[in-house]
Amino acid sequence: MKAIRVSYVLLLLVGYFVFACCHAEDVQKRKGSLEWMLRTFPKSPPWEEWLQKTGELPPDFDALPSVPGLPDPLLMDDGGKQVTVKTPQQWLARRQRLLRMFERYVIGTYPPSPGNVRGELLSTREEEGATVQDIELQFGPDHRAKLWMQLIVPKGEGPFPVFITQHNHRGWALVAVSRGYIGCVYAGADSRDDTGAFVSVWPDYDWTKLTRRAWAASRCIDYLYALPIVDRRKIGMTGHSRNGKMSIIAAALDERITAVISSSSGAGGACTYRFFSEAQFGEGIELITRVFPDWLHPRLRFFVGREHKLPLDQHELLACVAPRACLISTALNDNVESTWDIQQTYLSVKRVYEPLGAAERLRVRWRYGTHETKPDDIEAYLDWLDTQFGRKKYDFPEKFLHPRYEEWLNLSGEEINPRDFPEKGIDDLLRTADGAVVSSPDEWNARRGEIIKWIVWALGEAPSAAMNPGGSYGTEPNYGSMMLSRHGAAQGIAKIQLNFGNYIAGDVYFPSGADRGEKKLPAVIWLHPHSFSNGYVAGYRRGEHAHLALAREGFVVFAYDQIGNGSRIGEATRFYQRHGHWSLLGKMIADARAAVDVLESLPYVDKERIYLLGYSLGGIVALHTAALDRRIAGVVSIAGFTPMRLDAPEEGTAFVENVSRRHVLQPCLGAFVSGERRIPYDYHEVLALIAPRPVLVVAPKYDRENNLSDVTACVVEARKVYEMLGASEKLLFHVPDDYNRYSPELQKEINAKLKSMAGG
């Protein structure tokens, strides 16, 4: 018996020792991650102070699942088993779990309702038939917390519906009063904010500024619930920009808010972190947590560049409003948002509303313009509330801006069976369709034709086209270029506008005076990433715009919005209704080739030195264009691809699903999701088609959209053709120790390499 006890103790000691070693190893790993973040991320003193104060470390990212798409809001863990929510009761449980996760990663913790709100009337007055009351709410321990609130009560008997908004949106409340609502305005905005003092009253919570302001709205509702003139069933809340983010938080936390309107709330609001970050030139986690460090929880900054590791995303905060009414309002060219991201948010949240029988309580309202609002917008917000509150019915049809894969399937009638295609890896580059080995440049030329055939197949059937040498008619109007932040150029840089291809507006930038000199300059076509609301000009960035920095280096730069982005969102909306057997990627390539036509016609451009520079989506377009058009002198592709046949689900990148089903760039490839090894062409072949011309492939070390080891293998395979053609030095591969972004530091490095490529 004694021997058994000794053995048991020894076993415990061994177990403890193993656990301690594993824990120590885990801590060291996480410390290493933090050191890399502090070295790589833009400096954020408030975040670093928080790290020092708390000693918190980032999670072990390898232990977290990779979710490249939006997490399923209806999927929850039930005793270690993943189940799909199907009943209202299950949704209530799921909602509570989501809110707890949001407390940890996004909004911070907050105190419960104090239960002792009282109001002191500061003043009352009559204005144009409405009664205006200024009230100080007092609550919390010893009623030390104070909050200014103003009620604007319309004439009549009541009870009235309520329109809650923040101090700087008082004008919105006046519109609501004219429509028979009580306007409730409170000090929870930058223009007037009483919520900062809450921190000292409740010091044990790590709530953020936006959460404090959202919580304050609930204290207004506490007071409103005691008033007989208030219709409790009809309480609507709204806010714009940061107030829009806060309104979503308030509605998610307080079920007494029966309808919420998120107006241009952007990242941290209705835009998800996965689909709107630096990689989309957007207001993502990095910018928000650095520039506005008190808006959201500092813990969120750990996920910069690793957004796919977040165990939740913003669409799930909106889902927490269900089944109550929610209107997402966004402008087509608002640089704090992405129309495509908003559409993805809506489609995902709709999956929660539908089983709850509340599909008509969720809509997106698309506005023309940028971040501003107009009287008609606020009237439309009141139309939504009237409709949801049963006061009067207005039409809010479901409308999509961006193509959807299901729509393409119906329109095209395509039926592609992946099993009709053989499985392949990326080791077939120097082997013909009948299995013969390619061993000479002449044999390679024959092999080229086989590859091009499959690329053309995957791009779809292009319509007839003729060359447009470019002209002044149809250029972008001044109001359009001002709206998209590209009116004029910069000191030392000239700009001309022209129309090219199939009636597309483009801009040419070059060093001032270059169009009057005799020297011919190299040219670059700048191909932007997914930048839906802004096009080729970054909505958010550090450093100079990419097209201006290139022109400053002595290039003639041709920049334009790719279809579906910036000024061309509407052109993509019905694209597959018009071209059911073509593809958006095919159209993008056609536009890039049309841009080459124009550059060749400019007398100050050296048509032997026309290059393509593409980031993300632009990298995909650049590589395909150069593979099909030998006029391209060279290519730079930054974070542009991962080899499709190696894009297995366990890689966590979902590259094929992204280009085929999410962005519907190459919808015919959607049939190969989960059967990627049967795709008939791949990027090692695309790269090889460009040989012997120079190519620079840039693959960040930490890229959630592209797998570095697979990209490396792809470049190694393509190099075989470069070696065969005596040009191995012209296939360049660069791996920045960074996450997927086009930073000023990388931009400077790339511009220097491109200049060297062009002989500058």
Write out pLDDT tens, residues 350-405: 999 999 999 999 999 999 999 999 999 999 999 999 999 999 999 999 999 999 99
Q: Quick one: three-class SS letters along 739-758?
A: ECCCCHHHHHHHHHHHHHHC
Residue 627, pLDDT > 70, answer yes
The C-alpha atoms of residue 200 and residue 190 are separated, in whole angstroms, by: 19
Check whether domain 116-232 has CATH 3.40.50.1820, yes or no: yes
Strand partners, 739: 702
The C-alpha atoms of residue 719 and residue 481 are separated, in whole angstroms, by: 42
Selection from 191, 365, 375 nearest residue 270 by Cα: 365
At residue 18 the predicted structure's pLDDT band, cuts being 50, 70 and 90, is very low
Show the tokens assigned to 309. Answer: 């590791």
Share of the chain above pLDDT 70, in %: 97
Predicted pLDDT of residue 128? 85
| Domain boundaries of the chain, sorted by first residue | 64-107+258-397, 116-232, 441-757
728 in Cβ contact with 722 (< 8 Å): yes
Q: What is the DSSP letter of 264?
A: S
Domains 64-107+258-397 and 441-757 share a fold: yes
Predicted pLDDT of residue 648? 84
Backbone angles phi, psi at 155, to 5 degrees: -70, 150
Residue 145, pLDDT > 60, answer yes
Q: Quick one: three-class SS letters along 341-361?
A: HHHHHHHHHHHHHCCCCCHHH
The C-alpha atoms of residue 414 and residue 660 are separated, in whole angstroms, by: 13
Residue 61 neighbours by CB under 8 Å, 6+ apart: 33, 306, 309
The C-alpha atoms of residue 377 and residue 668 are separated, in whole angstroms, by: 39
Predicted pLDDT of residue 3? 60
Average pLDDT over residues 22-41: 92
The C-alpha atoms of residue 640 and residue 617 are separated, in whole angstroms, by: 6
Q: Where are the alpha helices (DSSP H) in 103-202?
A: 170-178, 198-201
Q: Quick one: three-class SS letters along 717-730?
A: HHHHHHHHCCCHHH
Average pLDDT over residues 639-647: 97
Residue 36, pLDDT > 70, answer yes
Is residue 260 classed as helix, strand or coil in its secondary structure?
Answer: strand
Predicted pLDDT of residue 488? 87
Q: Give the amino acid at 45.
A: P
Residue 16, pLDDT > 70, answer no
517-537: per-residue pLDDT in tens? 889 999 999 999 999 999 999
Strand partners, 698: 638, 734
Residue 21, pLDDT > 60, answer no
Average pLDDT over residues 103-121: 98
The C-alpha atoms of residue 351 and residue 362 are separated, in whole angstroms, by: 11
Predicted pLDDT of residue 24? 82
Q: What is the DSSP letter of 532?
A: T
Q: Give the amino acid at 158.
A: G
Predicted pLDDT of residue 12? 60
Predicted pLDDT of residue 272? 98
Q: Quick one: three-class SS letters along 375-437?
A: HHHHHHHHHHHHHHCCCCCCCCCCCCCCCCHHHHHHHHCCCCCHHHCCCCCCCCCCECCCCCE
Selection from 329, 298, 330 nearest residue 52 by Cα: 298
How many CA within 13 A on the CB side of residue 724?
19
Predicted pLDDT of residue 23? 75
Selection from 148, 138, 144 nearest residue 201 by Cα: 144
CA 113 to chain centre: 34
Selection from 491, 628, 607, 516 nearest residue 558 by Cα: 607
Strands, E assignment, 501-560: 504-511, 521-527, 556-559
Q: Which fold would CATH assign to domain 64-107+258-397?
A: Rossmann fold (3.40.50)
Mean residue pLDDT across the chain: 95
409-467: per-residue pLDDT in tens? 999 999 999 999 999 999 999 999 888 999 999 999 999 999 999 999 999 999 999 99
Check whether domain 441-757 has CATH 3.60.15.10, yes or no: no
**Helix, strand, coil shares, percent, the chain, to 5:** 45, 20, 40
Q: What Rg do the C-alpha atoms of the chain give, in angstroms?
A: 29
